[in-house]
Amino acid sequence: MNHQEKPPGENLTELLEFVLLGFADMPHLQWFLFGLFLIIYIIILMSNGTIFLITKMDPALQSPMYFFLANFSFLEICYVSATLPRLLMNLGTQRRRISLAACATQMCFVFMFAVTECLLLAVMAYDRYVAICNPLQYPLAMNCRVCIQLVTCAWTIGIPVQIGQTCQIFSLPFCGSNIINHFFCDIFPMLKLACGDIFVNEILVYTIAVLFAMVPFLLILGSYSKIIFIILRLPSATSRAKAFSTCSSHLMVVVLFFGSAIITYLRPNTRHSEGTDKVLSLFYTILTPLFNPIIYSLRNKDVIMALRKLLCK
């Protein structure tokens, strides 16, 4: 991480709007990308919405695991809706301008939902840990009140943090270039446009990334290491297979989301490549919401049965 102090450029006019380049470097693929991302967005809305619906309607899916899954599916809809509609509008109209206020709002919501996702994935890992490692205590440890409290904390803890971080970033003076080489208002591309000392902002970004990404990720890994140890000691092969089935889907989502996010935000600033960051961002902002319902529905017999009942009505 470099302590950067950017000297003001010749153009000292404070910027009031930015240009989101997105995928402008592929001019012949604009309509293809528009169609591709539109299809992905529709699939995400329909698939995550279906999971949310069946976990609320089906009596067989009223356990804490599916309560958390319903929240996760709803979160994925919110998360992808913070980036994809703007990207689709930019691709469809080729008007890539975004106001300073709209950019700040988008950044705030994207990272509020990202923090919620990190915490909710940790809560889901804890739920599987208690269910498999302490099954006799599970009904008491994960009662309705506890589940609601855990979900409420996951949804609300990131709100003041991200509002504070967004205000700090957008209190910086932006002068000179107004081009953001990204498809949404991400933190590091924004800091590159800021004038003056951004050292404190960089420290805050890394601190929040450690607290809300690395720490939950390590807790999840710790939970699953204990879960795997317990599973391997189960006497029945059928019991082992069932336990692995309920955990492997969650672990796949965890690796996809945390892997791409941690590489993006915990790399030294000198190693940040705009092209690489853009690709990695596709993983944690778009591909995770896309794969989440596919992974959970294809690897979970209860969800498949509930989906069949819904389709047969």
Q: Residue 311: inside a domain, yes or no?
A: no
Q: Using alpha carbons, select from 121, 125, 156, 157 the residue that is nearest to residue 142.
A: 125
- How far apart (Å, rounded) are the C-alpha atoms in residues 34 and 24? 12
Rounded (5°) CA angle 73-74-76: 65
Domain range holding 84? 17-306
* 237 residue type, one letter: A
Q: Name every residue whose Cβ is closer than 8 Å to that of residue 44 and which is 6 or more positions away in sequence.
A: 76, 77, 80, 84, 286, 289, 290, 293
pLDDT of residue 313: 66
pLDDT of residue 120: 95
Length of the chain: 313
Q: Name every residue whose Cβ is closer than 8 Å to that of residue 58 and which is 6 or more positions away in sequence.
A: 306, 309, 310
Q: Name every residue whose Cβ is closer than 8 Å to that of residue 304 and which is 6 or more positions away in sequence.
A: 297, 298
Average pLDDT for consecutive 10-residue bins of the chain (313 residues)?
A: 47 73 89 96 94 89 92 95 96 91 96 96 92 90 95 96 95 86 93 88 93 94 88 76 72 86 80 76 90 77 82 74
pLDDT of residue 255: 87
pLDDT of residue 8: 47
User: Please, is 102 exposed, middle or buried when counting C-beta atoms within 10 Å of its C-beta (0-12, 13-18, 19+)?
Assistant: middle
Q: Residue 68: inside a domain, yes or no?
A: yes
Q: Name every residue whose Cβ is closer than 8 Å to that of residue 138 and which is 6 or more positions away in sequence.
A: 130, 131
- How far apart (Å, rounded) are the C-alpha atoms in residues 205 and 63? 36
CATH number at residue 34: 1.20.1070.10
* Counted domains in the chain: 1
pLDDT tens, position by position, 223-268:
988 988 888 887 777 777 776 776 777 788 888 899 888 888 887 7
Residue owning tokens 């691709």: 91
pTM, 2 dp = 0.90
